[in-house]
């Protein structure tokens, strides 16, 4: 087994957790390489550029929070299992906390883990393609004006929304931005997508859940639009109107699961968090 390590140094201060993890890997004889953003904290013989690490390893271990996990998923050259070690606050996508590092190494070394597959999205705008694990958002760059969006499902007009924006979410993203917009929580095993208006100016508007094999098109004639994939702005449009097609991508995200925690137990534990 070969482990690639990506650490978010804003969370893993001075790479302390990553250092401990590497120490435990050495004790059990597991090879590892570390992405070069942390090169000042490790010997040069285990440091490599991020793309080289991901192409070399069998499993990626990410130290950080949900943002780190989303960044790693988008950076992978293919489908590669990711184990998330939570250094943030909620860490819904991560699997264990930093105080469980020894347990994580033992599970990897003994093969006592499973791999869970999660759907991803592909968004297409003017032949440009972007990818997301949680959601794709279309909204005005100026948030103080309501826009009009037409939503088509498999080419059929499903709704016209007057809102700040529209998002399309995977089941994984149903506990993220979509939840904040009063969207439903979907189990990761549900084969569906959520279409949700952001602050709709309407008395009847509600989220729509569709089969994940359907193609969703969002069309607007309003100007100064933007497209956001997993919290990152990928397009800013200054021209009038935008058409964006969102579909399930062929690529999936693979997460290493160690403790077989029930999804709903994790949901209660993470979303009842009220810490600072």
Share of the chain above pLDDT 70, in %: 98
pLDDT in tens, 85-97: 999 777 789 999 9
Q: What is the pLDDT of residue 191?
A: 96
Contact 138, 169 (CB under 8 A): no
- For residues 84 and 234, give the distance between their C-alpha atoms in angstroms, rounded to a whole number: 25
Two tokens at 154?
A: 């498999």
Residue 269 pLDDT more than 90? no
Label residue 205 by pLDDT band (50, 70, 90): confident
Two tokens at 26?
A: 């050495």
Residue 246 pLDDT more than 90? yes
Q: What is the pLDDT of residue 242?
A: 93
Q: Give me the active site residues, please.
A: 66
Share of the chain above pLDDT 90, in %: 80
Q: Over the chain, what is the mean pLDDT?
A: 92
Q: What is the pLDDT of residue 261?
A: 65
Comparing CA positions, the residue from 138, 135, 121 lying closest to residue 244 is 138
Three-state SS sequence of the chain: CEEEEEECCCCCHHHHHHHHHHHHHHHHCCEEEEEHHHHHHCCHHHEECHHHHHHHCCEEEEEECHHHHHHHHHHCCCCCEEEEEECCCCCCCCCEEHHHHHHHHHHHHHCCCEEEEEEEEEEEECCEEEEECCEEEEEECCCCCCEEEEEEECCEEEEEEEECEEEEECCHHHHCHHHHCCCCCCCCCCCEEEEEEECCCCCCCCCEEEECCCCEEEEECCCCEEEEECCEEEEEECCCCEEEEEEEEEEEEEEEECCCCCHHHHHHHHHCCCCC
Q: What is the pLDDT of residue 77?
A: 87
Distances in whole angstroms, Cα of residue 238 to Cα of each of 90, 143, 161, 221? 36, 15, 21, 12
Contact 166, 217 (CB under 8 A): no
Contact 140, 225 (CB under 8 A): yes
Q: What is the pLDDT of residue 260?
A: 64
Distances in whole angstroms, Cα of residue 162 to Cα of each of 64, 194, 222, 238, 245? 37, 17, 11, 20, 19
Q: What is the pLDDT of residue 265?
A: 77
pLDDT in tens, 108-161: 999 999 999 999 999 999 989 999 999 999 999 887 889 999 999 999 999 999
Exposed (0-12), middle (13-18) or buried (19+): which is 259, by Cβ within 10 Å?
middle
């Amino acid at each position: 087994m070969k482990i690639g390590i990506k650490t978010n140094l804003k969370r893993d201060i001075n790479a302390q957790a990553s250092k401990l993890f590497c120490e435990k890997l050495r004790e059990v004889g597991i090879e590892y390489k570390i992405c070069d953003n942390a090169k000042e904290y490790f010997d040069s013989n285990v440091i490599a550029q991020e793309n080289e690490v991901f192409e070399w390893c069998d499993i990626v271990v990410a130290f950080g929070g949900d943002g780190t996990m989303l960044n790693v998923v988008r950076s992978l050259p293919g489908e590669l299992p990711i184990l998330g070690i939570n250094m943030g606050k909620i860490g819904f996508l991560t699997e264990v906390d930093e105080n469980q590092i020894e347990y994580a190494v033992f599970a990897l070394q003994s093969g006592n883990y499973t791999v869970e597959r999660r759907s991803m999205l592909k968004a297409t705008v003017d032949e440009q393609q972007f990818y997301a694990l949680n959601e794709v958002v279309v909204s005005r760059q100026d948030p103080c004006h309501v826009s009009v969006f037409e939503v088509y499902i498999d080419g059929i007009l499903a709704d016209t929304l007057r809102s700040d924006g529209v998002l399309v979410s995977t089941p994984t993203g149903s506990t993220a931005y979509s939840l904040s917009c009063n969207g439903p929580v979907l189990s990761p095993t549900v084969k569906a997508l959520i279409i949700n208006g952001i602050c709709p100016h309407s008395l009847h508007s509600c989220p729509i859940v569709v089969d994940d094999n359907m193609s969703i098109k969002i069309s607007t004639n309003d100007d100064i639009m933007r497209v956001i994939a997993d919290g990152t702005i990928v397009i800013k449009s200054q021209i009038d109107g935008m058409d964006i097609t969102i579909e399930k991508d062929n690529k999936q995200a693979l997460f290493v699961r160690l403790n077989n925690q029930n999804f709903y137990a994790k949901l209660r534990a993470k979303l009842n968090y009220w810490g600072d």
